[in-house]
Structure 1
Amino acid sequence: MSSFQSLRPSVALGAKFDNKSLWNHVKGVAIADGGGENRTWNCNYYNKKVVGSYTKVKGHLLRLTHHNVEERDVADKEAARMFYASGLPFNFARSPYFRKYSLTLANNRSGWLIIVPPSFDRLHTTLLAQEKEHINRLLQPIKDTWKKKGVSMVSDGWSDRQRRPLINIMAASSRRSMFLKAIDASENIKDVEYVANLFIQVIKDLGEANVVQIVTDNASVN
């Protein structure tokens, strides 16, 4: 067996490895003596040694049909274990954000960029703050219309599966409706004084001059 360590085959071995572009994405380890198309190589993006021809390199990197079946099976089992061990609802697999993140990982082809899942600390600090800022930027055009055309405060009460009394608060305007918050009233008596104080605080948050009406359900406390 002949050995080499360069990213691309050396000039002496170039004829045996040809000049196909995807060889740039693997590191050759050995070429079988006596001819044949099989080569031993390491993928630059996955720490795995593979024996195969250029067709296998192409299938590995581009994830073509009938290639990398073993890798896909391992990945699927790891994803399933994540769902089971963490108690994630199966519907999470249908989340467009989960699928988009997975595709970002799968389509990463640059040698210098290694994508790993965000840490616990990064999720509940930096990334959370950045996402909150992003959402606020998206909502600001809606809020800007409140001063011009007014906004309606919309509220309704309901109970969740644990029978906790919840109060939803939304803001409806000519632009579109916006969910503001859900209040757990378990520790309070939902009497007239409690509901009135709650509505007054929401009106202040929306801007007293902006609120044109309050829309609620027909519960007697309202």
Structure 2
Amino acid sequence: MSHPDNVNSTKNTKIEVDDHAPLWKYIKRLDKLGKRGGNTMFECNYCHNTYKGSYSRVKFHLLKMSGNGIAPCKKVTDEVFAEMKKLVRECEHRLKSAAPRQVSLPNTGSLLCSNVEQKKRKGMNGPLNRAFQNEAREQCDVEVARMFYTGGLSFHLARNPHYRNSYLRVSTLLGYVPPGYNALRTTLLQQEKRHIERCLQPIKGTYMEH
């Protein structure tokens, strides 16, 4: 006989679904959780075991995926499993449809695409190569400008010395990829916090002496 809580899966359609983490719908949260991400205590609505982790562990548990430090749920029926998979697919489709489409950059001429081989054959200092370099710089300028426009960034950021220094450093690193969302809000943030605390330590020491 199935547990009464199992009926919540198909009939509880009024629960608001987060397209980025739809399977929270099938889980009971036992402590507070941010809008998205982060670890939390949760109880599975089917096996009623309690776990701690992020949405990825919820996904592994309910979709019966091995790994990620959590056991697959043995109480999820084939019918509910199919419902969950369908919900995940629908959410992924909505996110993909809502994602901003790649818009071509202005001033994209034939030099950027078709004359690379000519540039290689005619050397690195000819007029063709100089034209290619000028166009490449224009494209970089447009990408940077579009980052400001689409991200709602203040133009004052362009006066921040770290803004220019970051690009100067990148120019010396072939294939460099900037840090992503998670690295900026976790690893790099903690690293910077520790660095600032070390820098402030001598100042704090003078206060303690007085």
User: Shorter chain as normaliser: what TM range?
Assistant: 0.3 to 0.5
- Which structure has more strand as a fraction of its residues? 1
TM-score between the two structures when normalised by the length of structure 1: 0.38
- Which structure has more helix as a fraction of its residues? 2
TM-score between the two structures when normalised by the length of structure 2: 0.40
Bigger-Rg structure (1/2): 1
